[in-house]
């Protein structure tokens, strides 16, 4: 019953975010918000950006790539040199080259896949100055690309799609930083750590226990990891750790922080294309998919753990292996589904120990391309590419040149959208096939049988979708997994961003065709159904065979253990 | 391209200063000033209230089947059809039964953090008879003790009901 109220509260809070944060973001990206102008203007001066100047899609894309490349080099440098830098009370040594490389790429691409354990690898400077900074700016990059694509739809006969540097700065200081600043204080009040002191040594005379407690500036990083749909934990346990996610309230706030920007961006989209109903249609698709996957997971986790059931023990609390008592099976399912339907990837419970169907829900949530509602920015530009394909299919059915939001969708747009949609499945399947064929790949899984295959498939699905969650049993901190994973990370980010920006550029130049009786309305239930179907069919057709070898076999193998 | 390079470098420096230093340090200042106890790890004389510990023997309430090592957090990562997990469950159930404790799913399963400080109220009540026997206390007194320590769901609807094992055992130790 408590869980029903959790869902009700979540819907109410997100509805408010959708309306007000969504409208606020319209104003931010149109340059009408100025309450931090005293910070904003000097930044433009220092970086030499003119807030009035606009960029073509090619200039926009090259700015995205150059900025990401520099971010990557700086982060890599900080990890490698952390032992010589300040804020390192526990004297962490420099990070190994392949781990540092994978981690730098992972955080710059908004993935936060972590092959390392935070508590035993990273100095406070690496956490604050590299990881948390990338949590902010990689999210702001995603939002900037989404806004640029939306401008493509809303502008007419325009050569330009905005200015990357201005969008980057505005998203960071007007949206991400203020929300994170307030949320971090709530997290600290609940018991999330925020200290620069090193480990604490504690003992207990009652039971003779002694423990070393790693600490750090956690709350400030925790909130932006959620808000920016990044997901990388300060500690290995991520959102399951009591120092990161101490209470039911922080758990709920984490879910709200993850979902608020992706959901609100559908309002921003609708407003910017002059029809909020268009945004509602997109949000409806996201909600249907999210609801389906949440139900699947919650029901599966209520069934209990198959291994514990084999011993004959009753499990009124559901499957609690890998779950925290203070959250319970339902709130854990909600958190992990939220995290894998966005590009977040933080977990408050061990994904590897979910029931076969629960694990499949997380895996397939990512396989649909993370559009329900997807990451900050990435969700909106992802689903808009699906929408282009949907109107194309709709156009084929009636034999008419398709339009979306008044723009004619022609061969070029369909090709770009198809490229953006297909890069991910191809990369995931090829990398998984390689890893299951070579010994360095086969050495990775902790679990035997089909679950071991699932661990590998999950790793590449997560990295290529820039999600970052993992079936944690995989020993991924090896040169093989770190380097091959990086391929997925980079393709999953930039081989989708570049087509998205090219699409924006191509659309911005077009003029609007007047609506007629023959126009396929994209703000009606028919379109919602068709778009949902397209997302499901593309994901289903590409991934069903692979999923059948992992979670489905596992689910059907009653009484078998590996 | 060169212009982009210059902008990327200066922007990265600006963001490093604002987001990588000013923001976390300001939060640290606020946290230390307003919520000093929480910001430093909720430390008490007997360890952190937030971090689980291992309690051996029938005279204590037991927590989750965790390693309780805060320097190596995380779950078991064993899959739902893992033979190793099944063997561990059988071993833990046998161990508890040998101690005279009624096994409960919380006491044989590992958490997600590996340092879960809590168990469900049912898991605490299940241990009342064995703890009472070991300490020579009445069941009723211990049941009342557990009842006093049941927390959550927070605000009545966030998360699940739980009992903090450290706080429970601390008060247990003072019972005469």
- Among B15, B26, B77, the residue with its CB nearest the CB of A352 is B77
Q: Is A337 within 8 Å of A230 (Cβ atoms)?
A: no
Token output for A308: 């514990």
Contact assignment for A120 to B72 by CB distance below 8 Å: yes
| A83 CB neighbour count, 10 Å cutoff | 12
A121 touches chain B (CB under 8 A): no
In the stretch 51-70 of chain A, residues with CB closer than 8 A to chain B read 62-63, 66-67, 69-70
Residue ranges of chain B with per-residue pLDDT less than 70: none
pLDDT of residue B136: 95
**Rounded-to-integer distance, Cα A75 and Cα A95, Å:** 11
Mark yes or no for CB contact B116/A324 under 8 Å: yes
3-class DSSP assignment, residue B23: helix
pTM of the full structure:
0.97
Whether A516 has a pLDDT exceeding 90, the answer reads no
Give A65's contacts (C-beta < 8 A, 6+ positions apart): A494
- Of the candidates A557, A386, A462, the one whose C-alpha atom is nearest the C-alpha of residue A112 is A462
Q: Phi then psi for B80, rounded to 5 degrees?
A: -70, -20
Say what the pLDDT of residue B2 is.
86
What are the structural domain ranges in chain B?
Answer: 2-38, 48-174
CA angle at residue A200 from A194 to A205, to 5 degrees? 130
CB spacing of A189 vs B113 below 8 angstroms: no
Q: At A559, is the pLDDT very low, low, confident or very high (cuts 50, 70, 90)?
A: confident
Q: Domain map of chain A by residue range?
A: 2-198+213-275
Distance between CA A298 and CA A315 in Å, rounded? 15
Q: Could you tell me if A191 lies within 8 Å of chain B, comparing CB atoms? A: yes
pLDDT class of A489 with cuts at 50, 70, 90: very high
Give the whole-number percent of chain B exceeding pLDDT 90: 94
Contacts of B48 in chain A (CB under 8 A): 200, 202, 211, 213
Q: What whole-number distance in Å separates Cα of residue A246 and Cα of residue A250?
A: 6
Encode pLDDT of A4-42 as tens digits.
999 999 999 999 999 999 999 999 999 999 999 999 999
A-interface mutation test, from B56, B113, B123, B161, most A Cβ less than 10 A away = B113
CB A105 within 8 Å of CB A72: yes
Which CB contacts under 8 angstroms, 24+ apart, belong to A287-292?
Answer: A287/A372, A288/A372, A288/A528, A288/A532, A289/A341, A289/A368, A289/A371, A289/A372, A289/A532, A289/A535, A289/A536, A290/A337, A290/A341, A290/A372, A290/A373
Nearest CB to A211: which of B70, B118, B159?
B70
Query: In 10 A of CB A410, how many CB atoms?
Result: 13
Q: Report the distance separating Cα B40 and Cα B20, nearest Å.
A: 20
Q: Of all residues in chain A, what percent carry a pLDDT higher than 70?
A: 100
Tell which residue, A426, A416, A412, A360, has the closest CA to residue A386: A416
B136 at interface of A, judged by CB pairs closer than 8 A: no
> What is the number of CB-based contacts under 8 A between chain A and chain B?
390
Give chain B positions within 8 Å (CB) of A87. none
pLDDT band at A519 (very low <50, low <70, confident <90, very high): confident
Distance from CA of A362 to the nearest CA of B (A): 14
User: Could you give phi then psi for residue A250, rounded to 5 degrees?
Assistant: -65, -35
Structural tokens at position B86:
């099944």
d(CA A490, CA A102): 10
d(CA A95, CA A131): 13
| pLDDT tens for each residue of A414-423 | 999 999 999 9
- Kindly state the helix (H) or strand (E) to which residue B48 belongs, with its residue range: strand B47-48
For residue range A520-533, what is the model confidence (pLDDT) as tens digits?
999 999 999 999 99
The number of residues making up chain A comes to 562
Per-residue confidence band for A360, with pLDDT thresholds at 50, 70 and 90: very high
Handedness of CA A350, A328, B52, B36 (dihedral sign): positive
pLDDT digits (tens, 9 = 90+) for A333-350: 999 999 999 999 999 999
pLDDT digit string (tens) for A390-408?
Answer: 999 999 988 888 999 999 9
- Report residue A305 as tokens: 């753990």
Q: What is the pLDDT of residue A454?
A: 97
Q: Which of B69, B117, B159 faces A331 most closely, judged by CB atoms?
A: B159
Query: Does residue B108 sit at the A interface (CB-CB below 8 Å)?
Result: yes
Among the listed ranges A321-325, A500-504, A516-520, which one has the minimum average pLDDT value?
A516-520
Contact A417, A388 (CB under 8 A): yes
Q: Which of A495, A415, A386 is nearest to A109 (CA)?
A: A495
User: How many of the other CB atoms lie within 10 Å of CB of A433?
Assistant: 14
Closest CA to A469 of A384, A345, A552, A557: A345
> Does A355 contact B80 at a Cβ distance shorter than 8 Å?
yes
Mean pLDDT for chain A overall: 96
Cβ pair A386, A535 in contact under 8 A: yes
CA A199/CA A515 separation, integer angstroms: 65
CA distance A519 to B46: 70
What does each C-alpha distance from A450 to A110, A308, A363, A469, A554 come to in angstroms?
A: 29, 19, 14, 19, 6
- pLDDT reported for residue A399: 87
The one-character DSSP state at B158 is B
Choose among B14, B152, B166: nearest Cβ to A43. B14
Closest to B70 (Cβ–Cβ): which among A213, A251, A560? A213
**What are the start-end ranges of the E strands in A379-520?**
403-404, 407-408
* Cα separation, A155 vs A150, whole angstroms: 9
- On whether any CB of chain B is under 8 Å from the CB of A207, the answer is yes
pLDDT tens-digit readout, B128-164: 999 999 999 999 999 999 999 999 899 999 999 999 9
Per-residue pLDDT, averaged over A79-106, amounts to 96
Q: Which of A329, A172, A97 minimizes the C-alpha distance to B18?
A: A172
Q: Give A21-62 as a DSSP string.
A: IHHHHHHHHTT---TTHHHHHHHHHHHT--TT---BHHHHHH
Contact A57, A504 (CB under 8 A): yes
In this prediction, residues A431-452 reach a mean pLDDT of 96
Q: Does A240 touch chain B (CB under 8 A)?
A: yes
Token output for A490:
């980079």
Looking at beta carbons, which residues of chain A come within 8 Å of B60? 206-207
Q: Does any CB of chain A come closer than 8 Å to the CB of residue B173?
A: yes
Which residue, B120, B116, B119, B109, is CA-closest to A311? B109
- Nearest-CA neighbor of A445 among A482, A480, A475? A475
CB count in 10 Å sphere of residue B43 = 17
Using a pLDDT cut of 90, give the percent of chain A over it. 96
Q: Which residue has the higher pLDDT, A173 or B152?
A: A173
What does the block give as tokens for A475?
Answer: 């020993």
* Nearest CA-CA partner of A339 in A421, A438, A231: A231
Q: Which of A326, A327, A447, A451 is most worth mutating to test chain B (most B CB atoms within 10 A of its CB)? A: A326
Whole-angstrom CA distances from B35 to A33, A192, A226, B20, B155 are 32, 10, 22, 22, 20
Q: Which residues 31-70 on chain B approach chain A with CB closer than 8 angstroms?
A: 31-32, 34-35, 38-43, 46-51, 53-56, 60, 64, 68-70
Question: What SS3 state is found at B156?
Answer: coil
Looking at this predicted complex, what is its ipTM?
Answer: 0.97
Nearest CA in chain B to A42: B14
What CA–CA distance (Å, rounded) separates A19 from A270?
Answer: 11
- What pLDDT was estimated at residue A400? 86
- Distance in angstroms (rounded) separating the CA atoms of residues A90 and A327: 31
Local confidence band at A538 (pLDDT 50, 70, 90 cut-offs): very high
């Amino acid at each position: 019953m408590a869980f029903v109220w959790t869902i009700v509260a979540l819907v109410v809070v997100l509805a408010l975010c959708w309306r007000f944060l969504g409208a606020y973001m319209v104003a931010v990206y149109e340059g009408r918000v100025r309450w931090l102008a005293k910070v904003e203007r000097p930044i433009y001066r220092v970086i030499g950006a003119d807030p009035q100047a606009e960029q073509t899609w090619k200039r926009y894309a090259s700015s995205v790539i150059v900025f990401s490349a520099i971010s990557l080099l700086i982060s890599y440098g900080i990890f490698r040199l952390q032992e010589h830098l300040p804020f390192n009370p526990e004297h962490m040594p420099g990070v190994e080259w392949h781990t540092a490389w994978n981690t730098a790429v992972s955080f710059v691409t908004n993935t936060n896949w972590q092959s390392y354990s935070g508590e035993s690898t990273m100095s406070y400077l690496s956490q604050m100055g590299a990881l948390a900074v990338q949590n902010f700016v990689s999210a702001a990059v995603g939002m900037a690309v989404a806004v640029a694509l939306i401008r493509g739809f809303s502008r007419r006969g325009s050569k330009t799609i905005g200015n990357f540097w201005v969008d980057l700065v505005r998203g960071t200081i007007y949206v991400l930083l203020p929300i994170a600043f307030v949320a971090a204080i709530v997290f600290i009040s609940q018991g999330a750590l925020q200290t620069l002191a090193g480990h604490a040594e504690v003992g207990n005379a009652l039971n003779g226990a002694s423990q070393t407690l790693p600490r750090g500036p956690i709350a400030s990083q925790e909130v932006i990891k959620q808000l920016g749909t990044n997901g990388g934990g300060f500690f290995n346990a991520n959102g399951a750790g009591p120092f990161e996610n101490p209470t039911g309230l922080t758990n709920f706030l984490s879910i709200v922080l993850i979902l608020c920007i992706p959901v609100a961006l559908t309002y921003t989209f609708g407003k910017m294309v002059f029809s909020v109903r268009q945004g509602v249609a997109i949000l409806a698709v996201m909600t249907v998919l999210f609801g389906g996957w949440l139900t699947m997971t919650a029901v599966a986790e209520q069934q209990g753990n198959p291994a514990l059931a084999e011993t004959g023990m009753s499990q009124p609390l559901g499957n609690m292996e890998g779950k925290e008592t203070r959250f319970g099976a339902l709130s854990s399912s909600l958190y992990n589904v939220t995290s894998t339907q966005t590009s977040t990837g933080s977990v408050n419970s061990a994904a590897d120990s979910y029931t076969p169907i629960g694990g499949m829900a997380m895996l397939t949530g990512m396989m649909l391309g993370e559009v329900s509602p997807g990451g900050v920015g990435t969700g909106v530009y992802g689903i808009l590419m699906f929408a282009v394909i949907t109107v194309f299919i709709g156009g084929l059915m009636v034999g008419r040149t398709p339009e979306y939001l008044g723009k004619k969708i022609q061969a070029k747009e369909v090709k770009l959208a198809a490229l953006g949609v297909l890069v991910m499945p191809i990369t995931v399947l090829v990398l998984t096939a390689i890893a299951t064929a070579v010994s360095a790949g086969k050495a990775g899984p902790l679990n035997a049988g089909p679950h071991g295959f699932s661990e590998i498939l999950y790793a590449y699905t997560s990295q290529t979708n820039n999600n970052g969650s993992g079936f944690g049993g995989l020993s991924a901190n090896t040169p093989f997994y770190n380097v091959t994973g990086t391929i997925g990370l980079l393709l999953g980010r930039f081989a989708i961003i570049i087509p998205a920006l090219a699409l924006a550029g191509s659309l911005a130049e077009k003029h609007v065709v007047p609506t007629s009786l023959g126009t396929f309305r994209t703000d009606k239930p028919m379109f919602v159904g068709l778009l949902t179907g397209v997302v499901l069919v593309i994901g289903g057709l590409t991934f069903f065979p692979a999923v059948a070898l992992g979670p489905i076999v596992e689910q059907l193998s009653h009484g078998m253990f590996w | 391209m060169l212009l982009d390079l210059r902008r990327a470098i200066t922007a990265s420096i600006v963001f490093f200063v604002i987001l990588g230093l000013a923001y976390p340090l300001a939060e640290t200042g606020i946290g230390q000033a307003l919520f000093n106890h929480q910001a430093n790890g909720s430390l008490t004389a007997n360890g952190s209230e937030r971090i689980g510990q291992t309690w051996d023997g029938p005279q204590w309430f037991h927590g989750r089947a965790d390693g309780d090592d805060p320097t190596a957090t995380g779950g078991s990562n064993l899959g739902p059809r893992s033979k190793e997990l099944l063997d561990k469950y059988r071993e833990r159930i046998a161990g508890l039964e040998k101690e005279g404790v009624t096994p409960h799913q919380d006491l044989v399963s590992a958490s997600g953090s590996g340092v879960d400080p809590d168990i469900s109220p049912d898991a605490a009540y299940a241990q009342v008879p064995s703890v009472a026997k070991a300490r020579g206390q009445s069941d009723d007194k211990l049941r009342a003790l557990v009842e006093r320590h049941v927390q959550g769901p927070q605000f009545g609807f966030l998360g699940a009901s739980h009992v903090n094992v450290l706080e429970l055992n601390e008060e247990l130790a003072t019972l005469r």
